[in-house]
Structure 1
Amino acid sequence: MKTTRLLPLLAAFALAPLSIPAQAEMVYTRGSGASPDTLDPTKSELQPAARIIYDLFEGLYSLDARGQARKGVAEGHSVSADGRVYTFTLRADAKWSDGTAVTAADFVFSWRRLADPKHASPYAYFVWPIVNGTAVTAGRMPTDKLGVEALDARTLKVTLERPTGYFLASLQHLAMAPVNKANVEKFGENFTSPGNMVSNGAYKLVEYVPQSHIKTVKNPFYHDAANVKIDTVLSYPIDNQDTEFKKFRAGELLSTENLPNPQINFAKENLASAYTAGQTYSTYYMSFNLKNEPWKSNAKLRAALVLAVDRETIADKVVGGGEKPAFTFTPPGNVGGYEPPKPEWAAWPQAQRDEMAKKLFAEAGYGPGGKELPEIEILHYTNDNARKVVVAVAAMWRQKLGVKTRLNNQEFRVVASIGNQKSYPDIMYYAWIGDYPDANSFLQLFRSDVEQQNLPGYKDPSYDKLLDEANASTDPARRIELMKRAEALALAANSIVALTHNTRRRLVDPRVKGWVPNPLDFNLSQYLEVTK
């Protein structure tokens, strides 16, 4: 899932006035980063939007208070001996916010909609493991050929093409959550509007004022409503981290989405009870557009720029606050038993990397004795922390290789769209946080057939084959080994510049109880409590 999505607000931004709640009402006010790209769970790919959507929708599986997988609409499941057929039993008390039952047919409708190429979901590849999933998303088969079937109101049968090691883990992702068929058919794409939306999560949508706030309130029909303590959640999109910081200190917010880097030490010393930090399952990186020259055909040029970046300096000095230098796309930490394979040069001192970078730059035909590399554009999103990283990388390239750059700063939703379309000319700065705790959530993005979220446009049939073999393996050790071989192959192509693995730093008012930093960086409102 794309992360650190921050969208500019109007210059005259002001929080909507907070009405004084009834004494018994528990209200949670939070900074939510970027304005949502959409509240449709099958189409949103921005993490701040997902924070709101997780409050509104629940799939067969969801997240618990510690960001781990838990049963959601599914009461349980069974798997056939060959690992291909999953049968899910739905909760008897699963209901929509209008009081009607959530049924297996809702999942059939929703997953067919997700797979429909006309729907153009960036997460359509989530259905690829299902029988005919690839053919349906490519438009070669109708959606009713997708291998998902409602045996009765509470029994969902899913048939996979082959055993798939990550399939269950993927079900906690919002793309696999159900949407209400009658609701979508009545309102079309406008089903996400307040007054229209019917949801099945712990909360329901009541207000959405662009550039101001999004208000959700407790859903009385939610199956665990008795344990949901917060009555109202007010999410405020604030792109400027300094503005968000000031509003937290003024008492207008109970939690922030981020913390400005210059304020980290101040927060540690003066706001210690509110300062919270945790390592996330994420990677910040730069992507070369392999559809364009000189990036498409000059592997040595890409390698030179990769090596010339001093990740340790960026992690320790530019970003700070516990960031880790990144040498792989998949974060380290032995998630699911997978530890990514570092390239050989990761063990070199930076001086040795720089010497190799200069050598490769010359062999690529540039620098002293060669031609001059035309000025290159670095596209990045609106965020002070992001800009500092991009400026630092540009300075390293200029100092060591004489590379000239220009920065193109755009709204995050614009950057996301440009990246998905591969319409940036040279290089873009981006970030990815795992959609689920499995290396496939990262490695999938290098597949040739993932069109939108494969930002560099990397294509290698050998890579695709290795990943297919890995995910079809029922032997966990063999699956991990094959994924390592696949990632090593992709890293050797130098289609991206891995920069850092993120430590999320934010402020959470001590009155907010139940907040637990976790790798996927989600703290669902239904597990929190605001005390006096």
Structure 2
Amino acid sequence: MAESWTTSEDGLVWRFTLRRDARWSNGEPVTASDFVFSLRRMVDPRHGAPYATLLDPILNAERIHKAAEGVRVEDLGVSAPEPGLLEIRLERPTPHLLELLAHQATLPVHPATADRPGRMAARVADWVSNGPYVLKDFVPSSHIRLDRNRSFHAAADVRIETVISYPISDAAVAARRFLAGELHLTTDIPTDQIATLRGRLGAQLRVSPALGTYFLLLNTAKAPFSDARLRRALSLAIDREFIAERVWAGTMLPAYGVIPPHIGNYGERAELDFKAASPLEREDEAKRLMAAAGYGPGMPLRLELRYNRSDNNRRTIAAIAEQWAAIGVETSLIETDSAAHFAHLREGGDFDVARYGWIGDYSDPLTFLFLFRSDNTGFNVGRYADPQFDALLKLAAGEADLARRAAILREADSLIVRDQPWIPVLHYSHRNLVSSRLAGFAPNPQGAIPSRFLSFRP
């Protein structure tokens, strides 16, 4: 939407000049006031937006979404001096601001229709957007249909007229539909079929690095998971190499830290100190820690492990439960669909241990570390709280020098690795089946696949 931007010498004021041909799907112009409305709406505590913290570098944003006294939504540091000019004032210099503003949560919404009552599925007819596609049909648990937006400034360059997305939780079903020619692109592959599919499909099977980590999060607000010794024992007992190679067919990397490789604005990542230890050494230490925490023969640790339904998750969780059994843990598995699983966690439902995953919203360590802030009620569902960690993140937020900022974040990273409120298991890869007819597919660590740039080969 912005064709250019400038920054003040002190880094506190950014000015964005909008495209003159930017239009909403109903033909209305997109103006700077639309961005002001949308950003204010995002931090308005009445909406409870889970990504509100993304805007914390903006003047007054944090105070607003925390409902501090004496500050109004209108006090957010955003303004529209002209219809085509958006001004953003910051609390502190933020060298990665463009990464934050490129996140989907900051996209403008249409002021006149954004807050109309009703679920999306019932509002298709009056849904107004400003991207290359418009919502044409939405049937929950069935499909979402998008049609080309003829008001989009580059509509002539959008080659695919209609995009239909299907929510398929079973990767094997998606693979069968791909092989039958019903799908042109999938976002997962059944790991037990990777060798077969690679032999059959060749270059149509794509594996690329992802900016993400597969976790087990622990409810640190309740015993016994508030005990760091027990959390370390559970982590020690997981054979990450076995899971990466045997369960995920070598398409994932063993994870010994929260932050994945190839992250931007960072240096050496903090990793668990037992990475070089043998499986036997890890198991012995895990048993000692379990005994110190009060568990052992005749006194097993019984826990519930929740996970969202998929073939790959089911195999991973089963392997972990078996590995935990070796140190005296009896695991009850609770499988639900993804919507129910994440709603349960997000809404404060009780749990012992739960599968979780995170794909970085932008290439910066903060996109992972912010998950552990004690005041991040939207994502810190394990209720981890460490004042020292919070203080380090606050210190990093005020540091304009990228090298010094990285060193501060590395210290915060090491606290998470020490405490293990979330156990890192694997670093993600993107695993796609891509039709040979489809052109323009460009993998990237964030996994964004803009349909705008895809086309069909003749």
Paired residue secondary structure (2:322): helix
Task: Report the equivalent of 2:171.
Answer: 241
- State the AA in 2 paired with 1:138: K
Note the 1:276-291 alignment, pairs <5 A.
276-291=206-221
> Match for residue 211 of structure 1?
141
Q: Distance in 1 between matches of 2:296 and 2:119?
A: 54
In the TM superposition, 1:247-326 aligns within 5 A as: 247-296=177-226, 298-326=227-255
Aligned equivalents of 1:326 and 1:273: distance in 2? 27
- Residue 398 of structure 1 deviates from its aligned partner by 0.5
Structure 2 partner of 1:168: 98
Q: Which runs of 5+ in 2 are unaligned?
A: none
SS at match of 2:393: helix
Summarize the alignment of residues 136-147 of structure 1 with structure 2, pairs less than 5 Å apart. 136-140=64-68, 141-147=71-77
The secondary structure found in structure 2 opposite 1:507 is strand
- 1:226 is aligned with what amino acid? A
Q: Tell me what 1:118 maps to.
A: 46
Corresponding residue SS for 1:376: strand
Matches within 5 A, 1:380-395: 380-395=307-322
CA contact (8 A) 2:244 2:252 kept: yes
Structure 1 residue 471, shift from structure 2 partner? 2.7
Aligned counterparts of 2:33 and 2:84: Cα–Cα separation in 1: 9
Q: How big is the shift at 1:336?
A: 2.9
2:63 maps to amino acid = A
In the superposition, the TM-score normalised over structure 2's length comes to 0.96
The question of whether the paired residues in 2 share the 8 Å contact of 1:289 and 1:422 is answered with no
Output the CA distance in 1 between the equivalents of 2:323 and 2:239: 8
Q: Counterparts of 1:303 and 1:490 in 2: how far apart (Å)?
A: 12
Take 1:165 and 1:188, find their aligned partners in 2: how far apart are those partners?
38
SS of 2:202's partner is: coil
- 1:530 paired residue number: 456
In structure 1, give the amino acid aligned to 2:78: V
Residue 345 of structure 2 corresponds to residue 419 of structure 1:
yes
Find the counterpart in structure 2 of residue 365 from structure 1.
Answer: 294
- Counterparts of 2:324 and 2:95, CA distance in 1: 40
3-state SS, counterpart of residue 335 of structure 1: coil
SS in 1 for 2:281: helix
Which segment is superposed worse, 196-205 or 344-353?
344-353
Closer, same or farther in 2 for the Cα pair 1:337/1:293, shift >3 Å? closer
**C-alpha distance in 1 between matches for 2:276 and 2:12:** 42
Q: Which string of whole-angstrom CA distances, capped at 9 and with x for unpartnered residues, describes residues 49-74 of structure 1?
A: xxxxxxxxxxxxxxxxxxxxxxxx11
User: Which residue number corresponds to residue 278 of structure 2?
Assistant: 349
Q: Which residue matches 1:465?
A: 391
Equivalent of residue 30 in structure 2, options 95, 98, 102:
102
- Which whole-Å CA distance do the structure 2 matches of 1:362 and 1:190 have between them? 51
Q: Which amino acid in structure 2 is aligned with residue 388 of structure 1?
A: R
1:282/1:432 contact within 8 Å kept: yes
Query: 1:114 is matched by which residue type in structure 2?
Result: M
Q: Is the 8 A contact 1:338 1:439 kept in 2?
A: no
Partner of 1:517: 443
Cα distance, 1:374 vs. partner? 4.4
1:77 and 2:9 are equivalent in the alignment: no
- Cα root mean square deviation, aligned: 1.5
CA distance, structure 2, for counterparts of residue 256 and residue 497 of structure 1: 28
Instruction: Indicate the residue corresponding to 2:162 in structure 1.
Output: 232
More displaced, 278-287 or 464-473?
464-473
Match of 1:455, SS? Answer: coil
**Matched residues in 2 for 1:341 and 1:120: separation?**
32
- For 1:120, give the aligned amino acid: G
Letter in 2 for 1:419: L
Q: Give distance in 1, aligned partners of 2:285 and 2:425.
A: 18
What's the CA shift string for 1:65-84, capped at 9, x where partnerless? xxxxxxxx111111122211
- Summarize the Cα distance change of 1:92–1:255 in structure 2 as closer, same or farther, 3 Å threshold: same
2 CA distance for matches of 1:373 and 1:142?
53
Q: Verify: 1:375 aligned to 2:302, yes or no.
A: yes
- Residues 372 and 165 of structure 1, relative CA distance in 2, 3 Å threshold: farther
Q: Secondary structure at the match of 1:273?
A: helix
Residue 91 of structure 1 corresponds to 19
CA deviation after TM superposition for structure 1 residue 142, in Å: 2.2
**What does residue 329 of structure 1 align with?**
258
Number of equivalences? 455
Shift of 1:423: 1.9
One-letter amino acid of the structure 1 residue matched with residue 28 of structure 2: T
Q: Is the 8 A contact 1:165 1:471 kept in 2?
A: no
**Alpha-carbon distance in structure 2 between the residues aligned to 1:168 and 1:434:** 15
Partner-residue secondary structure (3-state), 1:415: helix
Deviation of 1:464 after TM superposition, in Å, equals 1.3
Pairs within 5 Å for 1:17-96: 73-96=1-24
Shift >4 Å, 4+ stretches: 189-192
SS at match of 1:375: strand
Range that drifts further, 129-138 or 376-385: 129-138
Q: Deviations over 1:487-523 (max 9, x none)?
A: 0011111211100011222211000001112100111
Q: Aligned partner of 2:303: which letter? A: I
**What TM-score results when the alignment is normalised by the length of structure 1?**
0.83
Check whether the contact 2:147–2:162 (CA below 8 A) recurs between aligned residues. yes
Q: Which residue of 2 aligns with 1:150?
A: 80
Most deviating of 327-336 and 172-181: 327-336
How much has 1:178 moved relative to structure 2? Answer: 0.2
Post-superposition offset of 1:531:
2.0
Secondary structure, counterpart of 2:340 in structure 1: helix
- CA apart distance, 1:191: 6.2
- Contact 1:379-1:424 at 8 Å conserved across structures: no
Q: Is 1:442 the counterpart of 2:371 in the alignment?
A: no
Residue of structure 2 in register with 1:508 after alignment? 434
Report the secondary structure of 1:500's partner residue. Answer: strand
Contact 2:147 2:161 in 1 (8 A): yes
Cα distance between partner residues in 2 of 1:341 and 1:518: 23
- Deviating more after overlay: 164-173 vs 435-444: 164-173
SS at match of 2:262: coil
Per-residue deviation, residues 137-163 of structure 1 (Å, max 9, x unmatched)? 012232111111111101111111111
Distance 1:318 1:520, change over 3 A: same
Distance 1:102 1:232, change over 3 A: same
For the 8 Å contact 1:422–1:456, the answer to whether it is kept is: no
